[in-house]
Amino acid sequence: MKLYGFWRSGATYRVRIALALKGLAYDYAPINLLKGEQGSPDYLKASPQGLVPALITDEGPVLTQSLAIIAYLEEKAPMPSLLPGDPISRAKARAIAFAIACEAQPFQNSRTQKYLREDAHFDDAAMKRWLDFTVGRALRAVEIMVADAGGKFCVGDAPTIADICLVPQVYAALRFGVDLSALPRVNEIHERCNALDAFKKAHPDNQPDAPKG
């Protein structure tokens, strides 16, 4: 398998965590988002949305969308599972993952921020309000959802798809100065995940395309 991605892309980070938790080996092909490599004709053939990540499977086809890639990995290499063992807990884990993937990440990714700054002339204060209205609000909801689900991780006592989405989202939120100080469960789970080898291995700073030093 070959993963196209970018060290700091949150969606790529999710797939790296999933691959690491499952212990799957892969080649890594960096796509430099800052240089616009995601818009090259060659890359658009692999990923029509011009987004990272994309995964070239051993079967040949290229898959896009991080959560679709992770569902594929779950089917191909079921153990360890990235989903809880019962249907209601699985639904809760997926709901947290989607709350992040649909209600937080899209509003804060580099393409959206670039548009809002350049086309809509958001200044720093406007961006801060926007990020709190979107990312902050989504993570405040996630705080309630993880408290309801209980356990050491988002849902239960092992990392699931919910944690795979949470950790890159917290990384981005901190990077962009979103205030998470009132979210004790989110912070605690973030820290517990980051103590695990798989999450360390997947961290942006530990990727070959990350800036040195």
Pairing assessment for the beta strands 62-64 and 27-30 based on DSSP bridges? unpaired
Element (H, E) at 178: none
x/- site string to a copy of itself, residues 140 to 179, per CB under 8 A? Answer: -x--xx--x-------------------------------
Q: Does 131 bind a copy of itself (CB under 8 A)?
A: no
Per rule CB under 8 A, is residue 76 in the interface with a copy of itself? yes
Q: Which amino acid is at 98?
A: F
Smallest distance, Å, CB 116 to a copy of itself?
Answer: 8
Of the two residues 129 and 200, which places its CB atom closer to a copy of itself in the complex? 129
Distance in angstroms (rounded) separating the CA atoms of residues 76 and 94: 19
Question: What distance in Å separates the CA atoms of residue 175 and residue 32, rounded to the nearest whole number?
Answer: 19
Query: x/- string (CB under 8 A) for a copy of itself, residues 36-65?
Result: ------------xxxx-----x-x-x-xxx
In our burial notation (b when 16+ CB lie closer than 10 A, e otherwise), range 40-70 reads eeebeebbeebbbbbbbeeeeeebbbbbebb
Decide whether 103 or 209 has the Cβ nearer to a copy of itself: 103
CA distance 90 to 207: 30
Binding site for a copy of itself (CB under 8 A): 48-51, 57, 59, 61, 63-69, 71-72, 75-76, 87-88, 90-92, 94-95, 97-99, 101-103, 105-107, 112, 115-116, 119-120, 122, 126, 129-130, 133-134, 137-138, 141, 144-145, 148
